[in-house]
Amino acid sequence: MTEITENTKKILEVILNLKEGQVMSYRDVGALAGLPNGARQVSRILHSMSKKYELPWWRVVRSDRTIGLPEPAKSEQMELLKKEGISFTAQGKIIIEDESLNYEPINKELEILYEDQDIIAIDKDANLTVNSKGQESLANYISYYFLKNNIKSQVRFINRLDMNTSGIILIAKNPYAQAYYQKLIENNDFDKEYLALVEGNLEIDKTIFLKINYDENNKKMKIADEGDEIKTYFKNIKLYDKFSLIYCKIYTGKTHQIRISLSNLNHPIIGDKLYGSKYKLDRFLLHSYKASFIRFRDGEKITILSRPNFDKYLNSSLLRGDS
């Protein structure tokens, strides 16, 4: 019998773990298998394997490049695949191997906004790095939470926030979930919305397009014709005497894209000294307040909310100019 490659095994395991009636795109099958250019590999493998096994998914490979499992594989087909090292269950459960922690566990209370069997959403404080070598970080706190709750997984971040940005951050409990949600982000199917308190009165309701790249000399992003394009929508929510509360929605997920876009409008985020703010705070006032996505496994729409803590700064002498 011809040996099956590791990539073929990974793809077949994902397909055979589909629930009855569930349909998944070639792209997502490849993503869950952790393979680059997954859709192309899935297409090639389905074609090459069709002559080798009579598995039930062949009946529903469709022109829109999706695949489904209308009925469980027959026992003799399952046994043939098991002999070649492919593991799966007939109930549609993904096989997830136990892993060792990849960060030192440190006990620190977390504010959990949402949790299911595949992900956990945390309300991150400002002045906290996501993961830094030689520095206490959110990854250490997540490791302790995993250890305490017998979650035998490495810490895998789905999205990231700057150290001085607060709000929603998602962590995967297995590599399949991480691949799925990062693919959603890559395809703009994962909504990330922010609130920013900026200097001056900014009346805006528009989408901003810019091109940016990294300025090595100044250690920040800069506007550049040859840079990567960013797309961000801004709308003013409330105007104060000297400040504006701005709603921000990102579509491209590039480093510092909200910060540089608002700075380019001459309304930097309060406290963001790197991008021109005149206020010296212990953080800058940018908060990831809403995340919406289609949940892994069952396709349910999930929305997570987090309230920013800007009031203490608005009411402080640091912003009123009393000091």
Q: 189 catalytic, yes or no?
A: no
Query: Which residue is listed with tokens 């250690």?
Result: 219
Say how many C-beta atoms besides its own lie within 10 A of residue 256's C-beta.
19
- Annotated catalytic residue, options 28, 118, 162, 272: 162
Cα four-point dihedral sign 129, 175, 91, 297: positive
Question: HSE-up of 217 (CA within 13 Å, CB side)?
Answer: 1
Cα four-point dihedral sign 154, 160, 163, 165: negative
The DSSP bridge pattern shows strands 166-172 and 286-294 to be: parallel
Query: Which residue is listed with tokens 């395809």?
Result: 187
- Residues identified as active-site: 162
